[in-house]
Each structure stands twice: as C-alpha cells, then as structure tokens.
A and B are shown apart, each in its own frame.
Chain A
C-alpha cells in the first residue's frame, strides 16, 4: 500500500528514503511510476541534495492536504505558520533553487507557495528597491527608459 518506500537520489549523490504517499506529490515521480521506469531508486539529476531535503521536508508536512474548507481551521492555521517559518529561514538564492526544483519535480503546491514568497518580496516596492533586493541592474536604453517612465507615471505618485 502506501507504506512503500521510495528512494530518491539527488544529483550530488545524496539519497532520501520517503513514503510513497509523499513521493506522489512530485508528479514527475508519479509519471515515472506509471511508465514503469521507476526502479528501486529514482535519480533526480536536476536537484542537489540540500534543496531536495528541504523539498521533502515540505512535502512531508503537506502530505495530508485537507481539501474541505470547514474542517479544522486550526490545523490549517498551524500549517500556515509552519510554512511561513519554513520560508523565513531561507535566503533568496535558496528560494530560487527551490522554485526551479519544484518546477522540475512538478510539485505544484511548493511551486505556488515559493513563487508567492518571491512575489511578496516584489509587492509594493519601487523599481529601485526591487533592483536592490534582487541585485538587478538597469539595462534599458535611455529611450526605453523614457518610454517606461511615461507609461508608468501613474505608479509613481504615492
């Protein structure tokens, strides 16, 4: 049943043994299993060990995703605050890696959550602030810059 264990191996050789139920959160693994190309151990070439361990940690917490709204709002709140703490500890670089890995693994839940976290960094900030946060440089030509300034005039006044 779902007490089956699946072995995942990261690109740098780290192995993780997890329940099948948890592994099924990663649709890429579901597809592999359906196509019967999943043997005992599943190699994940595009994910390093440290990122994979974080992703598995998240997946384990979310393996029993409550689908009904009215059920147990307290459990939902606890989960939300665990999620918040989980993300708080991570720096931007790691969050990006998580997004890329979750995309590769096809793990929609974490992908959405991590994307929202990045979006929250951008929300309500001026372009200068966003550039600073993400270490981005302004590569517009003067003409492009002028045009953008005109188009976005309505966002400046605050």
Chain B
C-alpha cells in the first residue's frame, strides 16, 4: 500500500487489515457504523488526490492492491475458496457503490425537477388533463413526478386516441379505460381522416368491451363516444357495449357496417335502446342496401326523447320516414341527412302543421340526388310566411344540381333570396352546385366568413359545371360530418366561389 495521505485521518490500517486477513470475521464486533462511514468517505475522497486525478492511475492502484492481496492468501488450505469469496465481495462492493451513486444522482434529479416545474400535483394534473392521450403518455415518460401525475384518473377523463390511430390496439384502450375509472367522460377511437385504410387499424370488434366490465362500471360514466372507421364495427358488436352506456349523450359512429339484409333504422333502434339520455346522434353507414322501413321508428323515438341533433348518412331514408322523424323527436333541432338518394323534399309539405313552433335550427340535405327545386322553394316560402322561426342554417348544396319539374336538373334554382335576406336575416342558406374539383384560384374565404358571422351571412353560388368535371363527387361524408355535431350555426360549406353571370353572391357583412 502506498503511504497514507497526511491530510486524511490514518484509517488505512483498518482497511488494510481487513484486506490482508480475509479469513477474519467479515465485520468485527466493535466495527460500528460511524467507522464504516468514515472508511467509505475516505475511500471516496481518493478521487480528490491530485496523484489520482487520472482514472488510469487509480486503476493501476486497484490492480496493484488486488494483485498483492491474492498471492498473500496463497499457501493456506482454503486459498482458492477464499480468493473467490474475496473477489466476489469486492465485486459486490463496487456494484453496491455504483447503485448507491446512481440513486444519489436520481434524487438530485428529482429535486432539480421540482425546481424546474414548480406546479403542485393538482395543477400539473390539470395541465395534463388538457392533453390528448398520446401526448399524455409521452409526458408520463419524462420523469417520476410527471409519471405520478399522469396516472391520476382525471387525466383520462377525455380519452382521445385518434392521434395515434395506427398503433393503438385493444390492450391500450383497455388500459386507458381502466385508468379513467369513474372519471371517464368521453372516448374517441379510430382515425378521423377518411383516407386512412381501415384495415391498418389494430383495433378489433371487442375493443370496447372494457366498458362493460364490472356491470358496466366505466361505461355508465361515459357521456360521449366517437368511433371513426373502426374495422368491422357493426350493430352486433356495439349493442352490448352501448347497453352499458346508460348516460351517453353524444354518439358518433363513422363507418358503421350494415349488412345488405339489415334494416338500418331497426339497427339504430337496437343500438340506442338503453341510451335514453342521448342528445346527439351521428351515424354514417357503409354498405346499406337493405330495405328501410319505419317499423321501429316509434320505438326509436320513444327510446330517445331527448334527441337534439341527428345525422344519418348513407341510410337511404325516404321522405315519409324523414317526416316521421321530424315529428317524432320533439326536441330535434339539427338534422343532417346528406347523401340520401331517396329524399325528394316532399317531406316539407307534411311539416306545415308543426312548422310554426318547430324547434328546428339546422337542416342539411347535401347531395340528395332527387331533391327537387320546387320542394325547396316551398320550404323557403314557408320560412317567409313565418314558419320555423328558429331555423338558422339550411344547406341544399349538390354537385349534380337540383331536380327541376319536368325531369332535368338545374344548377341555378330560382329562390327568393332577396326576400329571405330581408325577412329572415339570421338564416344562413347554403346552396353550392359546383363540383369541388373545379375549384379555381378565385376561391373566396366564405367558410371563414360564415364562421365569423353565422348569424347574418347569406351565401348562394350558382354556376353550371364545366364539361370536363363530370362525375367527381365532392367528399360529402367528411365535409358534412363536421357540421351537425356542433350545435351552432356556423356552416361547413365545402367551398365558396364567386359567381359569374347570374351571380347572386352576397355577403352581408362585407360593408
């Protein structure tokens, strides 16, 4: 051993003796804690010595000591065994020192973090509850404090897994629901953009089953459920789940699969049977070809008396059924039945009776192929007569124009726009008859205008399509899918252009 450093208390002999006599008891009875601590601290202070400032030289010292110690044990009967034991213990010592040092570093890091992030846990949780679920998980991986806060139930109140749609599987959904517990209020799954291939989703039909666990414990707390383009989601798989969601007020399913033999309305009735509190319903069906009858409509209307907004896209509804819907749901304010090829508009006539006090605020019938100009005219005239006093937004846009009496189609319907503006100035009437693909650069920001002043804007563009664009239909599902679930009157008209000749383009507030 080298000469002990004069600056340090001379405790090296103690250390030396235990190394040179490995056969002695591991801890001598009079070896107390403070002696151990002193030994350790003097060992650690070796690194302060200028002689040992180079790791290489300390390494050499270690080598020297170990090499010296091993031969000194040689010659006794148990040398092999003792050597192994000694070396093992040395390894153990160094490992313990390593772990201790790491712990110390972590503690310092934790302390440092509480300075960098001064918010109390409840405030941290408040911030986290404003994150989508994926960002929340990223945050939870930052440090122990974030991790702890991110596990609080409140953060999972509104689970939004649409931002990581390709990677979410059933297990993730299950974990998130479980973490939310009784704080679960809303759940969004799937990928919102319709261009995503449904087949890349990892979610299966049973991904929502956790909502039914424990007699529907979490399902019963759920208020809002949005499902976008989930694979194989049909009534059969959703029914049991929705039966557990008794307090659901907002249901949106984009991409519900309907068999060719199923009656979509009946399926709808089945789905909502237990959701008596439902207020907003948005369903977009793919593949409906089944005969639609109104046999279950009464039941449906009776089950959901609180329905305020309904959007049924792809349901192949006809006028008779639409009429019954409007009459059956007393509180209905917002209707979106775009892409309904069986609606001609004659349902308007039957509404006169309830027209005056009808709570109807929004009526969207985009791309209804057989919608007649004359029927819309009738409706507008009834508005002028004072009916539907609550109405704020009407949308009859259609890439193929409206049907004129006599069978051909018109792209320039004759509507009493001027009078409407005067008498019903807070109505937004959208009637765009131009295919999206022919948008020129002279696009007006009408969407923005509509949003800014939904109360006053009146917009109507008419232009016959150029011959080149024939059958490109505007992506109506995705564009109309936003308009109904919001209950305010800002329109989501897909495009706006100025009109040329017969232009009746007016923007009220452009003073």
Contact = CB atoms under 8 A, between A and B. Distances in A.
A154 B172 contact: yes
B197 interface: no
Interface in B406-445: none
Contact of A127 (B116, B117, B141, B454): B141
A64 B471 CA distance: 51
Interface in B121-136: 123, 126-128, 130-132, 134-135
Contacts of B137: 151-152, 154-155
A140 B175 CA distance: 21
B451 interface: yes
Nearest to A114: B127
Interface in A22-77: 69-70, 73-74, 77
Contact of B147 (A74, A111, A123, A148): A148
A82 to B, nearest CB: 16
Interface magnitude class on chain A: 35 or more
B138 A139 contact: no
B141 A152 contact: yes
Interface residues of B, number: 46
A134 B169 contact: no
A150 to B, nearest CB: 11
A141 B99 CA distance: 10
Interface in A64-123: 69-70, 73-74, 77, 96-97, 99-100, 103, 111, 115-116, 118-119, 122-123
A111 B489 CA distance: 29
Interface string A128-146: 0011001111111100100
Q: Mostly helix, strand, loop or mixed at chain B's interface?
A: helix
Interface string B137-166: 111111110110000000000000001101
A131 B143 contact: yes
A111 B143 CA distance: 24
A70 B489 contact: yes
A157 interface: yes
A69 B490 CA distance: 11
B135 A125 contact: yes
Contacts of A115: 123, 126-127, 130
Contacts of A119: 127-128, 130-131
Contacts of A99: 119, 123
Given A115-B123, A135-B116, A136-B117, A130 B488 contact: no
B118 interface: yes
Given A100-B119, A125-B135, A155-B164, A137 B140 contact: no
A76 to B, nearest CB: 9
Nearest to B166: A157
Contact of B106 (A123, A130, A139, A152): A139
12 contacts: A99-B119, A100-B118, A100-B119, A100-B123, A115-B123, A131-B143, A137-B112, A138-B142, A139-B110, A149-B141, A151-B137, A152-B138
Interface of A: 69-70, 73-74, 77, 96-97, 99-100, 103, 111, 115-116, 118-119, 122-127, 130-131, 134-141, 144, 148-149, 151-152, 154-155, 157-158
